Amino acid sequence: MTDRPLSEAKVAVFLAPRGTEEVEFTEPRQVVEDAGATVDVVGAETGEVQTVNDDLEPGGTYEVESTFSAVSPEDYDGLIVPGGAVGADQLRANDDAVDLVRGFADAGTPMGVICHGPWTLVEAGVVDGRTLTSYPSLRTDVRNAGGEWVDEEVVTDRGLVTSRGPDDLPAFCDAIVEAFAESGR
């Protein structure tokens, strides 16, 4: 593997209108950029969005470059969906975000989804028959959607990489780079 295994890749990173956990957005984005990927920040509307720390404290602001409705899974080689309880709840309530996640899953495009982010997977109906992890409070949601929930720092199942939360970011980031590089897209 080269020093920049994603030098040909283009990756989308979701950013909710408010409530995305800052470190779950910034660290994976930086890791895939460092691996050579071009990254687009995608959200409900373009413009500045504030993140949060520990779900309650204000974080930094970041630019949303494209909207959910303006992009397509065919535009990307991977997708990252960060958590944050409020942000993930907003994403699962946004039809365009849910449709986009479903499109990524249908296309077999690798996805990295962390913390509360799997709510969007559940809403998109793409959990059935898969093994994944998440923030522990989502385990019943995952099981009710037909998935097998496990308590592990990172789980990869057919290109879907999931982790429980910020403490798992090192393993999560390594796994998404590997999944995106192996996809051969």
119-132 pLDDT per residue, tens: 999 999 999 999 99
Count of C-beta atoms within a 10 Å radius of residue 162: 33
Longest Cα–Cα distance of the chain, Å, equals: 41
| Catalytic, out of 116, 130, 139, 164 | 116
Neighbouring C-alpha atoms within 13 Å toward the C-beta of 173: 18
Q: Does pLDDT of 181 surpass 60?
A: yes
Q: What is the pTM of this model?
A: 0.96
Looking at residue 48, what DSSP letter applies?
Answer: E
Confidence band for 175, pLDDT divided at 50, 70 and 90: very high
80's enclosing H/E stretch is strand 78-81
141-162 pLDDT per residue, tens: 999 999 999 999 999 999 999 9
2-31 pLDDT per residue, tens: 578 999 899 999 999 999 999 999 999 999
The pLDDT, as a whole number, for residue 101 is 98
37-69 pLDDT per residue, tens: 999 999 999 999 999 999 999 999 999 999 999
- State the amino acid at position 158 in one-letter form: R
- Set out the domains of the chain in order of their start, with CATH numbers: 10-182 (3.40.50.880)
Q: Does pLDDT of 95 surpass 80?
A: yes
* 116 is an active site residue: yes
The pLDDT, as a whole number, for residue 1 is 45
The pLDDT, as a whole number, for residue 64 is 98
* 173 is an active site residue: no
| Catalytic, out of 31, 100, 111, 115 | 115
Looking at residue 5, what DSSP letter applies?
Answer: T
> How many residues make up the chain in this entry?
185
The pLDDT, as a whole number, for residue 116 is 98
